[in-house]
Amino acid sequence: MKSRIVEQLGQAEILLPGLVAEGLRANDRAKVRLSALQAAAEHAHEPHGPPADLAAECRRAGVDAMATRALIAGARPAANGVIEAPGLAKLGEALLADVEAMIKAAGAGDPSVGKAAEDRLAATRAGQSLGKQHIAETEIAELTAVTSGEQDSLHRLVMDLHKALNRLAAQCAEEVVAGAHTHGLQPDDKPLVAAFMRGLDRTRALKFNHPGLDTIAIRSGARLVIQNDIGTTDAHVLLVGVEGLCVTVTHTDVHEPRAKFFIGLFDAFPVRWSGLNPEKAEGLAEGAAFYLVTGRYDAESQERRDAFLEAIGAALVFLIDWNKARKALRKLVSNGDAIRVLDWAARHEIGHRGFLELGGTELVAATVRHATPARIGFGEELGSVLGREAAVDLLRTALRLSTDALRQGRSARSVREALEADLVRRIERTESALLTTVVRQMGLARDIAVGIAATLADRQAHTPSTGGANARRAKRIEKKADAIAVDARSAILRSQGSAAIAQMVDAAENAIDELEQAAFFASLMPPRLEPTVLGTLEDLCAAAAAGTEAAARGLEAAAGIAEGESTETDDALAATDRLADLEHAADNAERAVTTVVLQGDGDVRTALPVLELARALERATDRLSAMGHLLHHHVMAGLSG
| DSSP conformation letters of 79-135 | GGGEEE-TTHHHHHHHHHHHHHHHHHHHHHH-HHHHHHHHHHHHHHHTT--TTSSEE
Q: What is the pLDDT of residue 181?
A: 83
pLDDT digits (tens, 9 = 90+) for 456-500: 988 888 888 788 999 999 999 999 999 999 988 887 776 556 678
Residue 488 lies in a domain: yes
Q: What is the pLDDT of residue 432?
A: 78
Q: Which helix H or strand E contains 177, and what residues bound it?
A: strand 174-177
Residue 419 lies in a domain: no
CATH number at residue 635: 1.20.58.220
Q: Which helix H or strand E contains 238, and what residues bound it?
A: strand 237-243
Distance, in Å, from the CA atom of 506 to the CA atom of 511, rounded to the nearest integer, reads: 9
Residues 107 and 59 in one domain: yes
CA atoms within 13 A on the CB side of 219: 17
pLDDT digits (tens, 9 = 90+) for 499-533: 788 899 999 999 999 999 999 999 988 877 788 88
Q: Are 71 and 86 spatial neighbours (Cβ–Cβ below 8 Å)? A: yes
Distance, in Å, from the CA atom of 111 to the CA atom of 348, rounded to the nearest integer, reads: 47
Q: What secondary structure letter does DSSP report for 12?
A: G
Within a 10 A sphere around the Cβ of 579, how many other Cβ atoms? 24
Q: Are 105 and 50 spatial neighbours (Cβ–Cβ below 8 Å)? A: no
Instruction: Give the relative orientation of helices 322-330 and 256-264 as an angle to the nearest 10 degrees.
Output: 100
Number of domains in the chain: 4
Residue 292 lies in a domain: yes
Residues 167 and 178 in one domain: no
Secondary-structure percent of the chain, ordered helix, strand, coil, rounded to 5? 70, 10, 20
pLDDT digits (tens, 9 = 90+) for 282-334: 554 455 567 888 899 999 999 999 999 999 999 999 999 999 999 999 988 89
Entry pTM: 0.59
Distance, in Å, from the CA atom of 178 to the CA atom of 542, rounded to the nearest integer, reads: 79
Q: What are phi and psi of 244, to 5 degrees?
A: 65, -125
Residues 278 and 367 in one domain: no
Residues 391 and 456 in one domain: no
Q: What is the pLDDT of residue 172?
A: 67
Q: Are 470 and 452 spatial neighbours (Cβ–Cβ below 8 Å)? A: yes
Distance, in Å, from the CA atom of 186 to the CA atom of 218, rounded to the nearest integer, reads: 9
Distance, in Å, from the CA atom of 336 to the CA atom of 388, rounded to the nearest integer, reads: 11
pLDDT digits (tens, 9 = 90+) for 437-457: 899 999 999 999 999 999 998
Residue 344 Cα distances to 205, 230, 327, 636, angstroms:
18, 20, 16, 39
SS3 422: helix
Residues 491 and 405 in one domain: no
Residue 563 Cα distances to 5, 406, 432, 568, 570, angstroms:
55, 30, 7, 10, 15
Q: Where are the alpha helices (DSSP H) in 524-568?
A: 531-562
Residue 27 lies in a domain: yes
Domain-ending residue, one of 284, 318, 352: 318
Residues 179 and 158 in one domain: no
Q: What is the dihedral of CA 396, 400, 405, 407, to 10 degrees?
A: 150
Residues 622 and 502 in one domain: yes
Domain interval for residue 112: 13-171
Residues 557 and 444 in one domain: yes
User: First and final CA of the chain: distance in angstroms?
Assistant: 58
Q: What is the pLDDT of residue 131?
A: 82
Domain-ending residue, one of 383, 410, 437: 410
Residues 436 and 341 in one domain: no
Distance, in Å, from the CA atom of 13 to the CA atom of 225, rounded to the nearest integer, reads: 9
The radius of gyration computed from the CA coordinates of the chain, to the nearest angstrom, equals 43
Q: Are 328 and 357 spatial neighbours (Cβ–Cβ below 8 Å)? A: no
Residue 226 lies in a domain: yes
> Partners of 298 in the beta sheet?
246
Q: ∠ CA 319-322-327 to the nearest 5 degrees?
A: 170
Domain-ending residue, one of 318, 342, 358: 318
Residues 361 and 442 in one domain: no
Residues 483 and 354 in one domain: no
Distance, in Å, from the CA atom of 558 to the CA atom of 553, rounded to the nearest integer, reads: 9
Residue 290 lies in a domain: yes
Burial letters for 481-517: b for 16+ Cβ neighbours within 10 Å, e otherwise? beebbeebbebbebbbbbebbbbbbbbbbbbbbbbbb
Q: What is the pLDDT of residue 74?
A: 93
Q: What are phi and psi of 464, to 5 degrees?
A: -55, 135
Q: Are 109 and 80 spatial neighbours (Cβ–Cβ below 8 Å)? A: no
How is 580-638 classified by DSSP, letter by letter? Answer: HHHHHHHHHHHHHHHHHHHHS---HHHHHHHHHHHHHHHHHHHHHHHHHHHHHHHHHHH
Low-confidence stretches of the chain (pLDDT < 70) are 1-15, 169-173, 231-235, 277-289, 371-385, 427-428, 494-498, 562-567, 601-602, 604, 638-641
Residue 248 lies in a domain: yes
Residues 183 and 248 in one domain: yes
Q: What is the pLDDT of residue 1?
A: 43
Residue 417 lies in a domain: no
> Partners of 434 in the beta sheet?
none
Q: What is the pLDDT of residue 285?
A: 45
